[in-house]
Amino acid sequence: MPMISPADAARWTGGTWTRLPDAPLAGVSTDSRSVTPGSLFVALRGERFDGHAFVEKAFAAGAAAASVSSVPSVCDSGVEAGAAVSARSMFHVEHPYPSLRNRRPCYLTHTTEESHRIVSEHLKDSALYGGDIVGTGARYCPSLEDKVVKFSSRTSHHVFVEPESLDPALDLAYPNGLSCSLPRDVQVTLIHSVPGLEDAAFRAFAYAIEYDFYDPRDLCPTLESRLLPGAFFAGQVNGTTGYEEAAAQGLIAGVNAALRALEREPLVLSRTDAYIGVLIDDLITKGTDEPYRMFTSRAERRLALRQDNARFRLLEKARRVGLADPAFLADSARIARDVAAEIERLDHSPGDSAGPGAWARALMHPGARYRALPFANPNLCNDAVEQIEIHYHYCGYFRQEDEMVRRMEAAEAQRLPPDIDYFAIDALRYESRERLAKVRPATLAQAARIPGVTPADIAVLSIFLHRR
Ligand SMILES: Cc1cc2nc3c(=O)[nH]c(=O)nc-3n(C[C@H](O)[C@H](O)[C@H](O)COP(=O)(O)OP(=O)(O)OC[C@H]3O[C@@H](n4cnc5c(N)ncnc54)[C@H](O)[C@@H]3O)c2cc1C
């Protein structure tokens, strides 16, 4: 295990680390707490962690930066109002649906040529383009400076004016789409150039921050550091951006620190278990050279990873670590059994040809509803019916995805011995040898996910494994 001095550790955290000779990590003291006793530590620091730098920036009320009082002027200006959205299903099925009455609409307005002229004229005064900040910004939340520079052919960008409160007396709105790092006086002129916001007053101004992150390739799938065993890292400190990304990692790091303290098996979610598994596998395998955001497109199994089936998909893991209410787990297990039995019954219903029975086929028709069919079991609950309908409506697509995942799992099962001398495999490209030697993937599938390792390299490795 490499030795890390308390001074290094303190430099990394901004706090004070104590290291005892025989302990992997003795403790850490943060700005707000004294030394954390024992050898477990979950680091959730967002900013100023020594390493590489990324940038976040925002503009407007609520989310952190500028807030404007603007709702009346937007309402009167004729800019487009959006209907308040209604949620059909909740992300977390244990929580009741919230009341969606008394919602206030968001408004849609846009930047103007004048707004873009103001940004261009003051680019050199902005933190992002003036040289004060050098880190890479979040690709998917570009600042207005970025939009004006990178999409210079566009003369306008959307701005969603989002009320911050149901209380009309609290006249705060978040102009979503106007994040920037311009000086305050320029921000005032800029926001007044947007239709509907001509009279807006600022409650807080936009800003940009630059933060350092720790290379997540040094982490285990439990988010425990390989360099500092006993320290678990979660959130922006691992190079991600976003609330959900931080929350997901916080859950895994926290659960695993607790399991470690209880001397129990760790909780590891795979890429096919959950999006959390995809996020962590991406981070620890590939690292990241820009703020990492989770997208459904990053998952191989995105048809199977759905919010409606999370309670069934993660049932056993949740039970094992005691993460869900036992009554809820029992209810989920009962529904899962009902669904499996009903699918079995429908698949084996009478039919004239090979393959699923006639009742199953009837449900495969687009728009077919289970309860409207004569063979429906009236005792099934709505959640079970939903699973049965999804199963049959999308079964062709699920099959295709299953086939792809089977191929992936076969590659996952092909383990790469840790002692491979990649530099001795002449048929590999030199860049790939370097990358493979650095990451030391555990499986062929993990090797395939390393950026810069090509399908041809994987074919070479596969032959190498076969011959070995
Ligand atoms: C202006 C702005 C707008 C954003 N908008 C969005 C958005 O709309 N949607 C979205 O998904 N994401 C958004 N993000 C990104 C998102 O906020 C972050 O990625 C996320 O909050 C990171 O969470 P975290 O827990 O990793 O870090 P943080 O939320 O930064 O938490 C780190 C915590 O550690 C504490 N800390 C630091 N050092 C010490 C120390 N030495 N001792 C004790 N405590 C310490 C800090 O005080 C803080 O409470 C935005 C970010 C910014 C800056």
Write down the pLDDT at residue 356.
86
CB 51, CB 70: distance < 8 Å: no
Task: Provide the residue-wise pLDDT of the chain in tens; the chain has 468 residues.
Answer: 233 344 444 444 444 444 333 444 444 445 554 434 344 555 554 433 334 455 565 432 222 335 565 554 555 555 666 655 555 566 667 776 777 777 788 899 999 999 999 999 999 999 989 988 888 777 778 899 999 998 999 999 999 998 888 887 778 889 999 999 999 999 999 999 999 999 999 888 998 888 888 899 999 999 999 888 999 999 999 999 999 999 999 999 999 999 999 999 999 999 889 999 999 998 998 888 788 998 887 888 889 999 899 999 999 999 999 999 999 999 999 999 999 999 999 999 988 777 889 999 999 998 999 999 999 999 999 999 999 999 999 999 999 988 887 887 787 788 899 889 999 999 998 888 998 998 899 889 889 888 778 778 888 998 898 887
From ligand 1's centre to the CA of 243, what distance in Å?
A: 8
Write down the pLDDT at residue 61.
26
Pocket test for ligand 1, best of 16, 128, 237, 241 (most atoms within 8 A of CB): 241
Give the pTM. 0.76
| 9-to-3, 20, 212, 217, 285 alpha-carbon distances in Å | 11, 13, 14, 18, 24
Domain boundaries, the chain: 6-57+213-299, 62-211, 325-398, 414-467
Within 8 A by CB and 6+ apart from 158, the residues are 108, 109, 110, 177
The CB of 291 under 6 Å from ligand 1? The reply is no
Q: DSSP letters of 19-49?
A: --TTSS--EEE-SSS-PPPSS-EEE---S--
CATH number, domain 6-57+213-299: 3.50.50.60
The CB of 246 under 6 Å from ligand 1? The reply is yes
Domain 325-398 fold is Arc Repressor Mutant, subunit A (1.10.10)
- CA dist 77 and 137 (Å) reads 33
CATH class of 414-467: mainly alpha
Ligand 1, atom nearest to 241 Cα: 19
Asked if the domains 6-57+213-299 and 414-467 are classified in one and the same CATH topology, the answer is no
The CB of 130 under 6 Å from ligand 1? The reply is no
Pocket test for ligand 1, best of 30, 56, 67, 223 (most atoms within 8 A of CB): 56
The CB of 46 under 6 Å from ligand 1? The reply is yes
Nearest Cα residue to atom 31 of ligand 1: 46
Phi (first) and psi of residue 128, to 5 degrees? -75, -40
Enter the tokens of residue 134: 């050098």
CATH number, domain 62-211: 2.40.30.260
Write down the pLDDT at residue 449.
82
| 409-to-144, 268, 385, 392, 443 alpha-carbon distances in Å | 43, 16, 30, 24, 10
Nearest Cα residue to atom 45 of ligand 1: 45
- CA dist 229 and 394 (Å) reads 44
Q: DSSP letters of 210-242?
A: EEEE--GGGB-TTSBBSSSTTEEE-GGGGTB-S
The CB of 221 under 6 Å from ligand 1? The reply is no
Ligand 1, atom nearest to 237 Cα: 26
Nearest Cα residue to atom 52 of ligand 1: 56
Phi (first) and psi of residue 232, to 5 degrees? -110, 135
Pocket test for ligand 1, best of 45, 106, 283 (most atoms within 8 A of CB): 45
Of 306, 385, 388, 300, the C-alpha closest to 344 is 388
Nearest Cα residue to atom 33 of ligand 1: 45
Write down the pLDDT at residue 352.
73
Nearest Cα residue to atom 9 of ligand 1: 242
- CA dist 296 and 288 (Å) reads 17
